[in-house]
Copies of this chain bind each other. A is one copy, B any other.
Amino acid sequence: MLKSPLQIARSSYQPKLPVALKGNVVLKEGEATQSVADHEEIKALFPNTYGMPILSMVKGEKKPMEPMNVGVILSGGQAPGGHNVISGLYDGLKNLNPQNKLYGFLGGPSGLIEHKYVELTGDIINEYRNTGGFDIIGSGRTKLEEPWQFDKGIEICHELGIRAIVIIGGDDSNTNACVLAEYYLQKGCGIQVIGCPKTIDGDLKNSQIETSFGFDTACKTYSELIGNIQRDANSAKKYWHFIRLMGRSASHIALECALQSQPNICLISEEVEAKNMTLNDIVDGIIKVIVARADAGLNFGTILIPEGLIEFIPAMRRLIAELNDLLATNEGFNALETEDEKRQFVKACLSPESSALFRDLPKGIARQLMLDRDPHGNVQVSQIETEKLLIEMVAKRLAVMKASGTYKGKFSALGHFFGYEGRCAIPSNFDADYCYSIGITATWLIAGGKSGYMALVQNLTAPASEWQAGGVPITMMMNMEKRAGKMKPVIQKALVDLEGAPFKYLAAHRDEWADANTSYIYPGPIQYYGPSEVCDQPTHTLKLEKGAFED
């Protein structure tokens, strides 16, 4: 067997397209833009790509176009819909002129530098329409930052007659896309660069970009699983499920999944940081809910935990920073033989606050912080199984409370981590439509001679036919931030806004979700067929942000 029935059926799905992108398009210039902050610095760094106008797309007449070739790159982690950006790009190019060619650089940005590519023909494209994954050309994490890399890009583009490069990536990749665009404009080499907003993490969004693609499908896949686990919890009535969700920097995924499934607890890293909470504060909050539910005879529940939580706890961040400073190159430490000696050494060297925190951590976690280090000697925070850390701390505390008679329930817990299950799911109709439109939009930006722009599709809570397309200067999203000790221009990451509607909805309902016999919602698996209210809905986050959420 070669394909599943759904794979076969999805290959003939025709993504829904905004009216504005059907037929021919002309670009309409809006007002000039400026960066979100640090105007002068950004302007100085991007003399050719700063201050460009926002572009919108309206219907226009067909104009004859010279043939052109375009290159495309997938950058960073997988997100559902990447293949549809590429198929939209392909269809858009062929629609402009059947002689146009699309090249895919292989294995991410390194394909451009190392001149590894494939021509994406119709046969190849058709194999990948509406599919998940980035396997059509592969992806990679090489960063395009150095002029020699940019120059290697010029070589291959000139060799293949490539007029524009489309980079599909997250905030960092799009920052680099803009640096590349600026460099090519300064050099006058005639190569345009266009970015496309990708990331399941949902942290690439701003006044213009309503959402990054892949966030919708990934969150719906995780929510399916959370809902199934909640139904199990409510049937078996004997387990607390601690569910860690991918997404290291922002908690958008956990928040969206909570909105879709209404768990008993959802931790939000940004809130933990804003309230300067400690690990003990977090455990306190969990204990409070567990005890209240146990008093009501409910010895089960669900807790969503964002992957990045640990790094948002200010005291933990200080401890990790001290450990990194202390241990990276400490020969005294490395010379010690037993784990116990090492532990004593560490405790003695840390600041009093960090030493106390270190002492209170479960042994396994302390061992991991102390011993599991990356090649630079740094703590491998992403390896920490936060769900197990919390289970252990909660269980310990409950055992003490049980002994003293302040807790009378039973506590059995199971840990889960969901990440790889959703990054390559078959894109939802929303992501399939959105990504295809992004690809078509990118084509028109290229045809219009634009560079340093991100393809823009807006009005996403309306039916796809009413979506608006255009382009936003990447410099408009930038500010200056410290990276590895140096100030750099970067696209501002969107963390969860504690004043925003999605978080406020959670905050307004979480007490009710914590206590209720069950407020659980069971979203079920993504549907591609059937009633539109079942299979074409955007995320709750997006609806709440746009005021389009109906309770």
Q: Which residues of A contact B (CB under 8 A)?
A: 1-7, 9-10, 77-78, 107, 131-135, 138-139, 221, 224-225, 227-229, 231-232, 234-237, 239, 241, 260, 262, 414, 416, 420-426, 518, 521-531, 533-535, 537, 551
Contacts and interface: CB of A to CB of B under 8 A. Distances in A.
A132 B262 contact: no
Contacts of A423: 228, 232
A527 B524 contact: no
Contact of A521 (B3, B235, B421): B3
A48 to B, nearest CB: 34
Given A5-B537, A6-B524, A528-B530, A225 B135 contact: no
A243 to B, nearest CB: 10
Contacts of A528: 527, 530
Contacts of A551: 1
B138 A235 contact: yes
B529 A526 contact: no
Nearest to A414: B420
A228 B221 contact: yes
A215 to B, nearest CB: 16
Nearest to A423: B232
What 5 A-B pairs come out closest when comparing CB atoms?
A529-B530, A525-B525, A231-B424, A133-B231, A6-B524
Q: Could you say how many copies of this chain the assembly holds?
A: 2
Contact of A228 (B7, B424, B535): B424
A129 to B, nearest CB: 13
B78 A9 contact: no
A422 to B, nearest CB: 7
A228 B525 contact: no
9 contacts: A4-B521, A4-B524, A9-B534, A78-B236, A133-B232, A138-B235, A426-B525, A525-B525, A529-B531
Given A4-B260, A6-B525, A530-B530, 17 more contacts: A3-B521, A3-B522, A6-B523, A6-B527, A9-B533, A77-B236, A78-B232, A132-B231, A133-B232, A135-B231, A135-B518, A221-B228, A228-B420, A231-B424, A416-B421, A426-B522, A426-B525
A236 B137 CA distance: 11
A221 to B, nearest CB: 7
A225 B422 CA distance: 8
Given A1-B262, A1-B551, A221-B228, A522 B235 contact: no
B529 A4 contact: no
A235 B424 contact: yes
A283 to B, nearest CB: 23
Nearest to A2: B521
Contacts of A525: 6, 221, 224, 425-426, 525-527
B229 A420 contact: yes
A121 to B, nearest CB: 19
